[in-house]
Structure 1
Amino acid sequence: MNATQALGQEPVGKLLWQFSLPAIVGMLVNALYNVVDSIFVGNGVGEIGLTAVTIAFPIMLVMMAFGMLIGVGASTLVSIRLGEHNKAEAEYILGNALTMIAVLSLLLSVIGLVWLDPLLVALGAEPEVLPYARTFTRIILIGNVFMHVGFGLNNIIRAEGNPRLAMATMLISAMLNVVLNPLFLFVMNLGIGGSALATVISQFVSAVWVLSHFLNKGSLLKFRLRNLRPNWRIVKDIIAIGMSPFFMQLAASVVTVLYNFGLIRYGGDLAVAAMGIVNRITMLMLMPIFGISQGAQPIIGYNYGARQYDRVFETVKKAIYAASGLSFIGFLIVQIFNYQIVGLFNNNSQLIALGGRGLSIMLSMLPIIGFQAIAAQYFQAVGKARYALLFTMSRQVLILIPMILLLPKFFGLTGIWLAGPTADVAAAVLTGIYLYRELRTLKVM
């Protein structure tokens, strides 16, 4: 029995563990190197470096959005086609995904580099912050194609039944970045540009690693020249399914911009730096949840394609239990050690006070995020893009953006911190209602 067939035959609990653990480890390490990056920047460049990276963050989120559009859309289709035992079309999807990644990433880099300064100023970069943000973002944009290849195609490695190899991709990139960051910042004195350069080099190595997998004999799916030519039906399907995470990331970019403007108004540049720290820690806390979500995706997609709905139901249930448990552990860590965690990034007492309080409030609803993430992932995994988009956008746009604009008028800076948990509660209720209806339908099919 090969790895793909195991998705429909092995015990669900065993599969979920096998697929989620590598994803959790890989994503944790990936998030950890972002945290370590910020620690190095905060201590090596100072508060202005943290502010610059936070100002530039929406641009990075937009680039990530296009990577998710293709990577998640293609990997979901690959899972479903493999469940249908249609390997030839799965390889066609892989080839089209590579073409889409190459074209979109290069186009984004050109646009970003041409209009870099106006973009950064529009995102809130003050004159003293602009040179730092420009240096950092320019290098990231130059290496954009490597990030898209490594991140986008790694999803397909997981979808074809190789979660450990997908984890190795992330580990290699993360570990290299952690080694290069202090080397470039503290030994070679390259400043904030050194941190960006470390990231790009790490992403380049990751991209080479992923491409080599699909070119060697050990992969189930392989690159074939004829599959690189765009098939508009496949392109359309990839975009349709990937639209939910794409808009989620775009919305995250808009949200970050709104947060930054609100933080500048109610707390100044130091509050923006604090939010940069809070965002990194939030990502670290959410990565185990997203790891379980990613681990469940190929199991759900394969069995849904194979019409084994009892296994789909069991996967969703066990994934919710696991994600909820991990999110509660993360909640306890943040609430108990919030100020100590923020203090790792910088020793400025004002920054620690701002960041510690913000972290505690923003992650106050973390225990319910695990459920919401798995519930939304279910609709993504079975190809119901409209529902996945609805639940994603309900949290990121329909609820969160109005809260960011409204709550600070009554509670000032505290209102900005409160916007996130308010949206978490509302989105979890909405997603839960629809998931309950969907799973009841599966039981009678």
Structure 2
Amino acid sequence: MAKTTSKELGTDSIGRLLVKQAVPASIGILVMSLNILVDTIFVGNWIGSVAIAAINVVLPVSFFIAALGMAIGIGGSSIISRALGAEDSSKALKTFGNQITLTLLLTSIFVVGGLYFIDGIIPSFGGKGAIFEPAKIYYKIVLYGVPFLALSMLGNNVIRAEGKPKFAMVAMIIPSLGNLIFDYLFINVLDYGMEGAAWATSGSYICCFVYILWFFLSKNSELKIKFTHFGLNKNIVTEIASLGGVTLARQAVVSVTYLFLNNILFELGGASSVTVYAIIGRMLMFALFPVLGITQGFLPIAGFNYGAEKYQRVRESINTAIKYAMILGFLIFILIMIFPETITSIFTNDGEVLSKAPGAMRWVFMATPIVVIQLIGSAYFQAIGKATPALLLTLTRQGFFFIPLILILPNFYGELGVWISFPIADTLATIVTGYFLNREIKRTLKVTPTVEA
């Protein structure tokens, strides 16, 4: 890989930078999403459709704990990007050390708590009836690997903050390929069932952690931390917490959403409806990979140039990111509208699921072309270190609109009420985010103090 430095974020053309940052991020997300898709296909065909529902029950809990690493990673990376832009390497190094310490402490506490309260947590997230036992098996084993996933998510975001997207891409590909190989070995060859699926997942997390550890110990990283950097600094921890809290709040709301949706769908349509949502959830991760890649690529560009006070470049990065993402969002929308039956049939041959999923999938993806504004808009406030608006805008989509809608609309429209809540919430959140993003641009990005040659 060619040697790159963070300074390129402030000098290269925005279009080129966005492609350079977004393509590796998109590929990494694509491979990770394909891994989740294929993993679901393997589990559905080699273990059964109930196993898909069981994994879907466990995901919000394990992902919430892992999201501690992601939250600390994104929050600290915002500080690191701006510090590198302002040429303050001391703050960047101290921030990275504090990120590692926080991640180790918090994930350890949550894993212990998650294992202790296992019998209460699983039913709360929809793991009832035939779903409970396979969910419990999967949950216990996966939780052992979650700290490695949290550290990997932390490291991945810091790698992006350094302006090294190709290494971040590899870090996302390794666990994906590892999981597929382990899936085949543990489930199909050794016939370990749900235990095999769980060990495959945990093993892939460990593989990713080993690669990221190598990156920071090698010459590829600019951040060479020392033992003294691990000591917690109150100001840095506060800033990490305020910015990382945005990501953590988002994942907390996602977990609560899973809790409500799994229980509501189980009551309305049984295990088959929970499976439908599991399939659609996987497709949301997979289909939106290029949009999420652009959002990931946009973050270090906006953060670095904001820290360097190159405001015209910040404006250009916002406009370019939204334009590219909307084009891709529209293409995704067209494909989902045309092929939902084909997509569903890849996952399962369960007749009840096949009859429900296509219509539900169309509703869920209805607002895809415009929701990109909400994703990039909320990400922008996080990139520039404005935690409060970033938090509020992040919560608008699922917290302020979606959860109330799924609690109200099913009372009038049954299961359809769940599915139509998706595009309504997406549209409302996009309108709100667009308004505040436009206002922020007019207020803070009026001039360009630094004149570029």
**TM-score over 0.5 for the alignment?**
yes
Aligned to 1:103: 105
In structure 1, stretches of 5+ residues that fail to align are none
Deviation at 1:32, TM superposition (A): 1.2
Q: Is the 8 A contact 1:106 1:144 kept in 2?
A: no
Aligned to 2:33: 31
Mapping 1:29-108, distance limit 5 Å: 29-108=31-110
Aligned to 2:222: 220
Aligned to 1:397: 399
Q: Residue 30 and residue 250 in structure 1: after superposition, are their counterparts in 2 closer, same or farther (change >3 A)?
A: same
- Aligned counterparts of 1:209 and 1:118: Cα–Cα separation in 2: 35
What amino acid does structure 2 have at the position aligned with 1:72? I
User: Does the alignment pair 1:155 with 2:153?
Assistant: no
What amino acid does structure 2 have at the position aligned with 1:245? T
Name the SS of the counterpart of 2:436 in structure 1.
helix
Aligned to 1:249: 251
- Bigger shift: residues 51-60 or 302-311: 51-60
User: Does the alignment pair 1:444 with 2:446?
Assistant: yes
Q: Is the 8 A contact 1:65 1:247 kept in 2?
A: no
Deviations 1:15-46 (A, max 9, x none): 11100100000011111111111111111111
Q: Is the 8 A contact 1:215 1:223 kept in 2?
A: no
Name the SS of the counterpart of 2:339 in structure 1.
helix
Deviation at 1:104, TM superposition (A): 1.2
Deviation at 1:167, TM superposition (A): 0.3
Name the SS of the counterpart of 1:219 in structure 2.
coil
Deviation at 1:211, TM superposition (A): 1.3
- Bigger shift: residues 116-125 or 293-302: 116-125
Aligned to 2:197: 195
Aligned to 1:339: 341
Aligned to 2:451: none
What amino acid does structure 1 have at the position aligned with 2:265? L
Aligned to 1:262: 264
Q: 2:409 aligns with which of 407, 410, 416?
A: 407
Deviations 1:268-315 (A, max 9, x none): 111001110010001112222111011011010000001000000000
- Aligned counterparts of 1:51 and 1:42: Cα–Cα separation in 2: 9
Aligned to 1:280: 282
User: Does the alignment pair 1:430 with 2:435?
Assistant: no
Q: Residue 273 and residue 123 in structure 1: after superposition, are their counterparts in 2 closer, same or farther (change >3 A)?
A: same
- Aligned counterparts of 1:148 and 1:57: Cα–Cα separation in 2: 14
Mapping 1:306-317, distance limit 5 Å: 306-317=308-319
Name the SS of the counterpart of 1:129 in structure 2.
helix
What amino acid does structure 2 have at the position aligned with 1:392? T
Deviation at 1:2, TM superposition (A): 5.1
- Aligned counterparts of 2:299 and 2:421: Cα–Cα separation in 1: 29
What amino acid does structure 2 have at the position aligned with 1:116? I
Aligned to 1:355: 357
What amino acid does structure 1 have at the position aligned with 2:41? I
Deviations 1:93-115 (A, max 9, x none): 11111111111111111111111
Deviation at 1:163, TM superposition (A): 0.4
- Aligned counterparts of 1:139 and 1:206: Cα–Cα separation in 2: 17
Aligned to 1:208: 210
Q: Is the 8 A contact 1:124 1:261 kept in 2?
A: yes
- Aligned counterparts of 2:63 and 2:355: Cα–Cα separation in 1: 27
Aligned to 1:232: 234
Q: Is the 8 A contact 2:141 2:202 kept in 1?
A: yes
Mapping 1:133-148, distance limit 5 Å: 133-148=135-150
Deviation at 1:338, TM superposition (A): 0.5
Deviations 1:248-274 (A, max 9, x none): 110000011111111011111110011
Aligned to 1:17: 19
Deviations 1:348-396 (A, max 9, x none): 1211121111111111111112121111111111011111111111111
- Aligned counterparts of 1:296 and 1:83: Cα–Cα separation in 2: 15
What amino acid does structure 1 have at the position aligned with 2:226? R
- Aligned counterparts of 1:414 and 1:116: Cα–Cα separation in 2: 32
Q: Is the 8 A contact 1:139 1:197 kept in 2?
A: yes
- Aligned counterparts of 1:162 and 1:126: Cα–Cα separation in 2: 44
Deviation at 1:177, TM superposition (A): 1.1
Q: Is the 8 A contact 2:125 2:258 kept in 1?
A: no
Name the SS of the counterpart of 2:130 in structure 1.
coil
Deviations 1:192-215 (A, max 9, x none): 121111111111011111112111
- Aligned counterparts of 2:289 and 2:143: Cα–Cα separation in 1: 24
- Aligned counterparts of 2:293 and 2:103: Cα–Cα separation in 1: 23
In structure 2, stretches of 5+ residues that fail to align are 448-453
Q: Is the 8 A contact 1:72 1:152 kept in 2?
A: yes
Deviation at 1:443, TM superposition (A): 4.0
Aligned to 1:131: 133
Name the SS of the counterpart of 2:129 in structure 1.
coil
- Aligned counterparts of 1:2 and 1:346: Cα–Cα separation in 2: 45
Aligned to 1:367: 369
Q: Is the 8 A contact 1:243 1:389 kept in 2?
A: yes
- Aligned counterparts of 1:353 and 1:91: Cα–Cα separation in 2: 54
What amino acid does structure 2 have at the position aligned with 1:270? S
Q: Percent identity?
A: 35
Deviation at 1:173, TM superposition (A): 1.4
Deviation at 1:67, TM superposition (A): 2.1
- Bigger shift: residues 275-284 or 123-132: 123-132
Provide the aligned C-alpha RMSD in A. 1.2
What amino acid does structure 2 have at the position aligned with 1:15? L
Q: Is the 8 A contact 2:303 2:384 kept in 1?
A: yes
Deviation at 1:136, TM superposition (A): 0.4
Name the SS of the counterpart of 1:153 in structure 2.
helix
User: Does the alignment pair 1:326 with 2:339?
Assistant: no
